[in-house]
C-alpha cells in the first residue's frame, strides 16, 4: 500500500499546483504566457476612399470657380480701361498668402493631436529636392500667366476659351510622355469630343474682333494664348511627376505647401516684369481712369487674385486626388460655361457654333466620367479577387 500512497500524494500535489495556476489573477497569467501585442488595424478602405472623393469634389469646385471666374474678371479689367499685362499676370499668382490660412489651420490640428500623444509635429514638410522642383515649375507658371494674359487682353473671352480648349490635347500628350498616363477608349473619346468642340468654335472667329484691337494684335493674342495652352498642358503633368519623384509621402498639407512655392516663384517673375515696365506707377493712374470707378478698380484687382488662386489650388488638388489628365478635362469642360458667362456679363455674341461646342464638351466630360467609374469598379474587383 505504501507505493500507492506515494503515488496518491504526488497526484494530489500536481492537482494543487494546477489549481493555483488556474485561479491566479489575470496579470499573473500574463507572467506565465505573455499576450501578443494588439496590432492597430488600418482604417477601412471605404473611409479612405470617401475622404479622397470628398477632397476631389472640394478641389473640383475650386477649379470650376477659378476656370469660369478667372477669365471673366481678367477680361473685365481690360474692357474697362486696364492696360498693364504684367500686373494682371501678377494677380494670377499674387493671392498666394491665402494659402497660409489652411496651412495654419492644418498645423493647429496636427499640433493638438501630437500634444495629446506626447509627440511633436513638423511645421514644414517640403524638402529641398521638392522645393527646387516646385520653384522651377513656378517660374514656368509665371511665364505662362503672362502669355495667357497678353492673349486675353486682345481677344474676347469666348475666343480665348476655345483656344485654351486645345490644352486638353497637350495635357494628354504630356501625361502620356511624363507620367505614363494610360488611355482608355473613354478618355480618347472624351479628348476627341472636346477637341472637336474647340474646332467648331474656331470656325466662327471672324466677327469676334474687339473694339480698338487691330488684326495684328488679334493674331498676336491668338498665338500667345495658344502658347499658354501648350505650356499649361505641360505644367499639369509636371506637377504630377513632381509628386511621384518627390520621395516623400504626398499629403494634402504638402500639396498646399507646393502650391505656395509655385505661386511665390510665379509672382517673383511677374514682379520683375512689373518693375521693368513701371507697372507699379501705373496703378494709381489706372484707378482714377477706370471705367467702373476707382473703388471698383481695386475690388476687381482683389477679386482677380482670389479667384485665380482658387483655380490653381483646385488644379493641384485635383492632380493630388486624381490625375493631371482629369484636371485638364475639368478645365476643358468649364470653357463653354465661361463663354456663356462672357455673353451674359460682358455682352459678347453667342453663335450657334458655341452651343454645339457646349454640347460636345459636356458629352466629352460625361464620357470621361463614365470611364473613371468603370475603372474604379475594375480596380475594386481586382482587389477583391487578390484578397
- Distance, in Å, from the CA atom of 138 to the CA atom of 34, rounded to the nearest integer, reads 56
> Is residue 62 within 8 Å of 327, Cβ to Cβ?
no
157 contacts: CB under 8 Å, gap ≥ 6: 71, 72, 75, 338, 339, 341, 342, 346, 348
Please check the confidence at residue 122 and state whether its pLDDT lies above 50: yes
Grid cell, residue 45, equals 478602405
Ramachandran bin of 249, using left for φ above 0, alpha for ψ from -120 to 50, beta for the remaining angles:
beta
pLDDT digits (tens, 9 = 90+) for 45-83: 444 677 778 888 999 999 999 999 999 999 999 999 999
- Distance, in Å, from the CA atom of 169 to the CA atom of 189, rounded to the nearest integer, reads 12
273 contacts: CB under 8 Å, gap ≥ 6: 86, 89, 90, 146, 279
Least trusted range by pLDDT, from 11-15, 38-42, 282-286: 38-42
Please check the confidence at residue 11 and state whether its pLDDT lies above 60: no
pTM of the model: 0.76
Grid cell, residue 166, equals 486645345
Q: Region 11-28: what's the mean pLDDT?
A: 48
Q: Region 215-228: what's the mean pLDDT?
A: 87
State the pLDDT confidence band at 28, using cuts at 50, 70 and 90. Answer: very low
At residue 210, φ and ψ (nearest 5 deg) are: -70, 160
Question: Exposed, middle or buried by CB within 10 Å (0-12, 13-18, 19+), for 271?
Answer: middle
Residue 264 has what pLDDT? 96
Please check the confidence at residue 37 and state whether its pLDDT lies above 60: no
Alpha helices for the chain (secondary structure H): 2-22, 26-32, 45-79, 85-94, 100-117, 128-152, 157-164, 167-179, 185-202, 215-245, 252-276, 279-289, 294-321, 324-346, 352-386
Residue with cell 490640428: 109
Residue with cell 513638423: 122
Count of CB atoms within 10 A of residue 90's CB? 29
Rg (CA), the chain: 30
Residue 14 has what pLDDT? 58
State the pLDDT confidence band at 170, using cuts at 50, 70 and 90. Answer: confident
Query: DSSP characters for 22-66?
Result: HTS-HHHHHHHSPPPPPPPPPPPHHHHHHHHHHHHHHHHHHHHHH
Q: Which residue has the higher pLDDT, 285 or 356?
A: 285
Most trustworthy range by pLDDT among 144-158, 180-194, 262-276 = 262-276
Most trustworthy range by pLDDT among 203-207, 268-272, 313-317 = 268-272
Least trusted range by pLDDT, from 218-222, 241-245, 351-355, 361-365: 351-355
Q: Region 269-279: what's the mean pLDDT?
A: 94
At residue 278, φ and ψ (nearest 5 deg) are: 55, 35
pLDDT digits (tens, 9 = 90+) for 77-103: 999 999 999 999 999 999 999 999 989
Segments making up each domain of the chain, as ranges: 52-113+124-378
Please check the confidence at residue 259 and state whether its pLDDT lies above 80: yes
The per-residue pLDDT of the chain, averaged, comes to 81
Residue 55 has what pLDDT? 85
- Distance, in Å, from the CA atom of 145 to the CA atom of 168, rounded to the nearest integer, reads 17
Amino acid at each position: 500500500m505504501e507505493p500507492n500512497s506515494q503515488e496518491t500524494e504526488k497526484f494530489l500535489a500536481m492537482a494543487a499546483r494546477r489549481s493555483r495556476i488556474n485561479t491566479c489573477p489575470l496579470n499573473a497569467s500574463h507572467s506565465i504566457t505573455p499576450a501578443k501585442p494588439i496590432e492597430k488595424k488600418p482604417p477601412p478602405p471605404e473611409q479612405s476612399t470617401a475622404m479622397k472623393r470628398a477632397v476631389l469634389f472640394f478641389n473640383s469646385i475650386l477649379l470650376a470657380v477659378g476656370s469660369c471666374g478667372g477669365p471673366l474678371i481678367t477680361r473685365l479689367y481690360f474692357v474697362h480701361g486696364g492696360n498693364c499685362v504684367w500686373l494682371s499676370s501678377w494677380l494670377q499668382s499674387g493671392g498666394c498668402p491665402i494659402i497660409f490660412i489652411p496651412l495654419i489651420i492644418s498645423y493647429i490640428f496636427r499640433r493638438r493631436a501630437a500634444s495629446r500623444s506626447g509627440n511633436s509635429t513638423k511645421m514644414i514638410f517640403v524638402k529641398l529636392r521638392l522645393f527646387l522642383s516646385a520653384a522651377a515649375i513656378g517660374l514656368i507658371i509665371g511665364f505662362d500667366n503672362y502669355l495667357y494674359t497678353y492673349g486675353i487682353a486682345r481677344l474676347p473671352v469666348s475666343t480665348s476659351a476655345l483656344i485654351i480648349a486645345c490644352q486638353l490635347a497637350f495635357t494628354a500628350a504630356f501625361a502620356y510622355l511624363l507620367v505614363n498616363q494610360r488611355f482608355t477608349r473613354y478618355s480618347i473619346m472624351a479628348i476627341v469630343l472636346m477637341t472637336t468642340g474647340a474646332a467648331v468654335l474656331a470656325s466662327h472667329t471672324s466677327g469676334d474682333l474687339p473694339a480698338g484691337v487691330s488684326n495684328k494684335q488679334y493674331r498676336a493674342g491668338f498665338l500667345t494664348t495658344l502658347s499658354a495652352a501648350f505650356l499649361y498642358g505641360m505644367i499639369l503633368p509636371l506637377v504630377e511627376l513632381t509628386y511621384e519623384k518627390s520621395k516623400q509621402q504626398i499629403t494634402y498639407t504638402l500639396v498646399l505647401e507646393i502650391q505656395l512655392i509655385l505661386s511665390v516663384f510665379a509672382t517673383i517673375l511677374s514682379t520683375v516684369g512689373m518693375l521693368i515696365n513701371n507697372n507699379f506707377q501705373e496703378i494709381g493712374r489706372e484707378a482714377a481712369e477706370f471705367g467702373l470707378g476707382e473703388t471698383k478698380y481695386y475690388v476687381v484687382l482683389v477679386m482677380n487674385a482670389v479667384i485665380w488662386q482658387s483655380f490653381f489650388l483646385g488644379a493641384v488638388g485635383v492632380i493630388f486626388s486624381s490625375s493631371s489628365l482629369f484636371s485638364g478635362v475639368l478645365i476643358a469642360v468649364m470653357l463653354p460655361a465661361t463663354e456663356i458667362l462672357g455673353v451674359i456679363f460682358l455682352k459678347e455674341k453667342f453663335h450657334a457654333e458655341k452651343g454645339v461646342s457646349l454640347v460636345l464638351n459636356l458629352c466629352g466630360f460625361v464620357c470621361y466620367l463614365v470611364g473613371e467609374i468603370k475603372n474604379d469598379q475594375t480596380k475594386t474587383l481586382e482587389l477583391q479577387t487578390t484578397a
